[in-house]
Amino acid sequence: MSDGPFNQAVLIRGGTVVDATGKRVGDVLIRNGVVEAVGLDLDDAIAGAQVLDASGCIVGPGLVDLHSHLREPGREESETVETGARAAALGGYTAVVAMPNTDPPIDCAAVARQVFELGARATCEVAVAGAITVGRAGKLLAPLAEMADLGIRLFTDDGNGVQDARLMRRALEYASALGVTLAQHCEDSSLAAGGHMHEGEWSSRLGIPGQPGEAEELMVMRDLALSRLTRAPIHFLHLSTATSLQMVRVAKQGGARVTAEVAPHHFSLTDAAVASYDTVFKVNPPLRPPADVAAVKAALADGTADAIATDHAPHAQEDKEAPFDQAPPGMLGLETALALAVTELDLPIERLLALLSWQPAAIAGLAGRHGGPIVAGAAANLCVIDPEVTWVVDATRLASRSRNCPYAGRTLTGRVRHTVLRGEPVVIDGEAQR
Amino acid sequence: MTATVSATAAPGVGPAAAVRPAARLSTAKPGGRRHLLSIADLDREGIEEILRLTDMFVEVSERPIPRVPALRGKTVVSLFFEDSTRTRLSFEMAAKRLSADTMSFSVSTSAVKKGESLRDTVETIEAMGIDAIVVRHSAAGVPWQIANWTEGAAVINGGDGWHEHPTQALLDCYTIRQQRGRLDGQRIAIVGDIRHSRVARSDVLAFTALGASVTLVAPPTLLPPTLAGWPVEVSHRLDEVLPSCDVVYLLRLQRERMQEALLPSLREYTATYGLTRQRARLLVPGALIMHPGPVNRGVEIAAEVADQPNSVITRQVRNGVAVRMAVLYLLLGSGVDLGV
Ligand SMILES: [Zn+2]
C-alpha cells in the first residue's frame, strides 16, 4: 500500500467461507488489515463498515501464483509490476511470485530489492524468485544466501533449465542449508533445440519444428535423482506431459521431497490450436496432445500436482506478430486462471482453492500471510468468487499491458468478484480500485 | 472472414484433412477474398478445376505471343523472404502472360533487416493497392499470418518453411496427368528429405486427393516425427519400391543435413537413396522421374538419369508457369472473357 495500512472496516456479507478447514456460511468482518470476526449477523457489530456483497459467492483466501513474469525491470512495454499486479488482483490473487528472467535478471540482492520496492505499492503482494545461476546462464551459482536474506524462498533460472547436472547438484546442496527451494524449468536444451511446438502429429503436419515431451521428462528424471542424492527439496515448474507427472507421482509415493505445478493452458488447450499459426498459442513448454491434457487434469485431481500456476508471460504485440519460429513463447494467465480451473476441472471449489491458494502459498513460503484459514486474527488477504457466472473473455479489456491471451472469445464459468489485500478492497465487483 | 483462410481447420493430411473446409477456388464467388494457402483447402474438384484451366493456359503459352489480357490492371507482388529465383520468376512470368503488372519485393535485402516487422512490411505493400501477394518464407505459416493482416489482397503461398508449396503440387499433378493420363491408381514414390520438404507435404495431399497411392522412401531421420494419419506407405528400401512405381519423385537434399546428425555423409545417402544409373534400371518402362529442382546432380539423382527421356523435370518447370496462370486467373479474374 502506498500510504500506510487501510483502516476502514470492511464487511463481506452473505457468502460461503471456504478454506483448508472446511466450508461454512458466514460474514467476514475485517479491520486494520486482519480478519476481526467470522460469523452470522455481524451487521450490528460495526456501523459504517464498507459492505461487499457476497451472496451466492465463495469467500476464500486470496489466490497465490507461483509463476508470474512481471517483466520489470527491462521489458516495461509488455508488463510492469503495477499492471501485472492489477491483473493478478482482478484474477483473485493476493500474492504472486515474480520470475527472475527480467533484464537485468534477478540474480543478486540489488535487483531483487528493486522489484520488492515496486511490489510494495502494488495491488497484490509481490514475492520474488531469484535466479539459481548468475545471469541465468547456467555456469556459476548466484548469491543465494544474499537473496535469501531478503526473504526470497524460491530460486529458478526459469526460461532456462539448469543443464549441467553437476552444477544443479551443487545448487541443491548449497540451497538446502538456506531453507529455500529450487524450482526447475524442465527442458533438456539439446533435445529441445530449435523446437517451436510439441513434436507430434500436428508438428509433422504443420511443418513446424517440434520438441518432444521427452525433453521435459529427461530433466524431471534427472532432478528427481539429484533431489534424492542431495536430500534437498525440488519444485517442478509447469509440468506438461503424462510421463513427467507419472514420475512425480511415483516419487511422491516413495517419499521424495518434490512438489509440482501445472499451468492452466496445459489443461485447457491442445497442440491442435497451433494449426491456426497464431503465435498466441506459442508457449514453452508447448501445448500438448489430448492425452497429456488429460494427464494434467488427472494429476490435479489425485494430488500429484500441488498447484495451478499461471506462467503469466506478457509479450508486446509487435513481438508476437512475427513468424512462428521467431515469436517469443508465452501467454497471459492471471486474469483467466481461476475461471479456467472452474470451467475445465471437475473438482469441488475447496480442491480448486487448495490448488490455487494454500498449497502454492506453502511452496512459496507465504503461508503466514496468504492461504491460511479465515479466522479472527488472520491476515485479511481474501477473494470472493462467483462460481456460477459465465462470461466471455475479451482480450482487449484485460488489465495486463499485453494482449497475448489465447482464450479470447471463449465462454468461461466462474469469476472473481472482489479481492481484498491487507484489508483493502483492491477489486470490487470485478473492477480494479487502483 | 475469407473463404480459404481457415484458422481453425486442419491444414493437414489424414483424418484432419477429411474435414477439409469446402473452400474451393472458384471464379463464381462474388465479393470476399480468396487465397491459395494449402492444398488441404482444395478438394478433388477444386484441384481438377485448376488442372482443367491449366490446359487452356498451356495452349496460350504455346502461341507466338503467349499473352492474354485477363488480368489487365491487376498488380501481383512477389514477397520473397527467402531466395527462390525459380519460383519467383515462374509466378512473375505467369502474371505477365495474363497482362498483370508485377512487383518484386525481396525482403532479405530490405526492410526486415532494419527492424521493420513482418506486419509493417505487409501493410506497407498492401497500401500501394495491390491485388495479390505471392509469399515465400522460411517459416511455416507466414502466408496464414499475412492473410489475416491484409484486407484486399489475395494471398498465394509460394512455399512456407517445411510446410507447403501448393503451386508446386498442382504443377506436379498436372505433369503426371499430362504424361500418364490421370492420377487415379498411379503408384508414386516420394524419395528423400520428406521431413524438411514443403513439396512433399503438398504433394502427399494433392496426389492422394486425386486417387494416387503414395510411398515415402527415406531414412527415419528424414521423415517427419510421426506419420500418424498420413495416407501413405513408408519404406526404407528404394530398391524394393522402384520396380512397382509409376512415378519416382526425388527431393533435393540440403547439404547441411550432415551437420545436424541426420546423415553420416552424402556418399552414404547417394548409395542408399540416390537414383543412380544402376538403380534407375529397376524402373518399369514409361515410369516418370520427377524432381522439384534445383537438382543436386550426383547426389539424389545421377546426371545421366536426370537427362533420360522419362525424366520430366524440365516439363515440370514449363507447366509451372501455366499452373500459376490458372491460379492467378482463378483468384483475380473478374470472369471476363479469357480471350482464348
Ligand atoms: Zn518456464
Torsion sign (Cα): B230, B203, B131, A277: positive
Closest CA to A6 of A381, A351, A346, A269: A381
Task: Tell me: pLDDT of B18 over 70.
Answer: no
Mean pLDDT of all residues in B114-129: 84
Which cell numbers in the block locate residue A33?
A: 488489515
Per-residue confidence at B25, pLDDT binned at 50, 70, 90?
very low
Task: Tell me: pLDDT of B5 over 80.
Answer: no
Min CA distance, A318 vs chain B (Å)? 7
Q: At what angle do helices B198-209 and B44-61 cross, to 10 degrees?
A: 110
Q: Where are the domains of chain A?
A: 62-364
Which of A197, A269, A277 best probes binding to B when mutated, by most B CB atoms within 10 angstroms?
A277
Contact in structure between A382 and A419 (CB atoms under 8 Å)? yes
Helices and strands in chain B, H and E counts: 12, 9
pLDDT of residue B108: 67
Task: Tell me: pLDDT of B21 over 60.
Answer: no
Task: Tell me: pLDDT of A421 over 90.
Answer: yes
Alpha helices in A48-186 (DSSP H): 81-90, 109-120, 144-148, 165-176
Please indicate whether, in this complex, the C-beta atoms of A278 and B8 are within 8 angstroms of each other.
Answer: no
Per-residue confidence at A6, pLDDT binned at 50, 70, 90?
confident
* Ramachandran sector of residue B49 (left: φ over 0; alpha: ψ -120 to 50; beta: rest): alpha
Q: Give residue A244 CA to ligand 1 midpoint distance, Å.
A: 15
Torsion sign (Cα): B225, B228, B229, B231: positive
Task: Tell me: pLDDT of A7 over 70.
Answer: yes
Residue range A102-159, pLDDT digits in tens: 999 999 999 999 999 999 999 999 999 999 999 999 999 999 999 999 999 999 999 9
Structural domains of chain B, ranges and CATH numbers in brackets: 2-165+318-333 (3.40.50.1370), 166-313 (3.40.50.1370)
Task: Tell me: pLDDT of B332 over 70.
Answer: yes
By DSSP bridging, strand A382-392 and strand A411-421 are antiparallel
Alpha helices in A269-336 (DSSP H): 290-302, 317-320
pLDDT of residue B334: 63
pLDDT of residue A250: 98
Residue range B57-113, pLDDT digits in tens: 999 999 999 999 999 999 999 999 988 899 999 999 999 999 999 999 877 655 555
pTM: 0.93
Per-residue confidence at A47, pLDDT binned at 50, 70, 90?
confident
DSSP letter for each residue of B221-243? GGS-S--TT-SEEEES-HHHHGG
Residue range A164-205, pLDDT digits in tens: 999 999 999 999 999 999 999 999 999 999 999 999 999 999
pLDDT of residue B107: 75
If you measure CA to CA, which chain B residue comes closest to A271? B10
Which cell numbers in the block locate residue B53?
A: 484451366
Mean pLDDT of all residues in B174-183: 97
> What residues contact residue A203 under an 8 Å CB cut-off, 6+ apart?
A195, A197, A209, A210, A271, A274, B224, B225
Task: Tell me: pLDDT of B186 over 60.
Answer: yes
How far does Cα A20 stand from its chain's mean position? 19
- Residues from chain A that touch B118, judged by Cβ atoms under 8 A, are 321-323
What integer best gives the mean pLDDT of chain A? 96
Please indicate whether, in this complex, the C-beta atoms of A208 and B162 are within 8 angstroms of each other.
Answer: yes
- Residues from chain A that touch B137, judged by Cβ atoms under 8 A, are 323
Neighbours of B1 (CB within 10 A): 7
How far does Cα A72 stand from its chain's mean position? 17
Topology classification of domain A62-364: TIM Barrel (3.20.20)
Per-residue confidence at B32, pLDDT binned at 50, 70, 90?
low
Contact in structure between B320 and B61 (CB atoms under 8 Å)? no
> A92-121 burial string, b = 16+ CB within 10 Å, else e?
bbbbbbbbbbbeebbbbbebbebbbebbee
Q: Which residue is it, cell 545421377?
A: B302
